[in-house]
Amino acid sequence: MRKAKKMEAKENYQVEERTFKTMRSGGALSISFGVVNVVVGVVSGIILIVSGAKLLSAKRRIMF
């Protein structure tokens, strides 16, 4: 009876350890994707602001 409980405890520990490792790698992946998304968002925002400023400065030269 005692051996069965020890075996069950050991199996539970292994399952928990695998679960922890899976969750850890998933969390790291989510954080890295989040950082990449923030960087892409900031860069595209800067590009849009610069191109808008160029259009506004060239507005005087455009005739309709």
DSSP string, 6-55: HHHHHHHHHHHHHHHHHHHHHHHHHHHHHHHHHHHHHHHHHHHHHHHHHH
- Of the chain, the end-to-end C-alpha distance in Å amounts to 92
Taking only the tens place, the pLDDT of each residue in 3-13 is 666 666 777 77
Domain ranges of the chain: 2-61
- What pLDDT, on a 0 to 100 scale, did the predictor assign at position 18? 82
Structure tokens at 15: 């399952």
User: In this model, does residue 58 exceed pLDDT 70?
Assistant: yes
Instruction: Give the pLDDT band (50/70/90) at residue 1.
Output: low
47: number of CA atoms within 13 Å, CB side? 6
Query: In the predicted model, what is the mean pLDDT of the chain?
Result: 85
With vertex at residue 35, the alpha carbon angle to CA 30 and CA 39, rounded to the nearest 5 degrees, is: 150
Average pLDDT over residues 14-29: 82
